[in-house]
Amino acid sequence: MANNVELNEIMITRAIIDRYMEKLHQNLEVDVAIVGAGPAGLVAGTYLSRAGYKVSIYERKLSVGGGMWGGGMLFNDIVVQEEAKRILEDFGVRGRHFTETYFTADSIEAVSMLAARAIQSGVTIFNCVSVEDVVMRPERVIGLVINWTAVEMAGLHVDPLAIRAKYVVDATGHDTEVVKVVHRKVPGRLMTPSGNIEGEKSMWSDRAEKLTLENTREVFPGLFVAGMAANATFGGPRMGPIFGGMLLSGEKVAIHIIERLKGEQ
Ligand code: 48H
78 part of a folded domain? no
**pLDDT of 1 higher than 80:** no
φ and ψ at 75, to 5 degrees? -80, 110
2 part of a folded domain? no
| Structural domains counted in the chain | 1
What does the mean pLDDT of the chain come to?
Answer: 97
CA 41 to ligand 1 center in whole angstroms: 9
Which pLDDT tens digit goes with each residue over 23-74? 999 999 999 999 999 999 999 999 999 999 999 999 999 999 999 999 999 9
CB 223 within 8 A of CB 182: yes
The average pLDDT across 7-23 equals 98
Would you call 204 exposed, middle or buried from its count of C-beta atoms within 10 A (0-12, 13-18, 19+)?
middle
- Pocket of ligand 1 contains residue 126 by CB under 6 Å: no
**Domain around 250:** 26-65+119-264
What is the CATH number for 133? 3.50.50.60
- Pocket of ligand 1 contains residue 160 by CB under 6 Å: no
- Per-residue confidence band for 265, with pLDDT thresholds at 50, 70 and 90: confident
Q: What pLDDT does 204 receive? A: 98
71 part of a folded domain? no
CB 244 within 8 A of CB 83: yes
CB 54 within 8 A of CB 31: yes
Which pLDDT tens digit goes with each residue over 112-127? 999 999 999 999 999 9
CA 142 to ligand 1 center in whole angstroms: 22
Q: What pLDDT does 4 receive? A: 78
214 part of a folded domain? yes
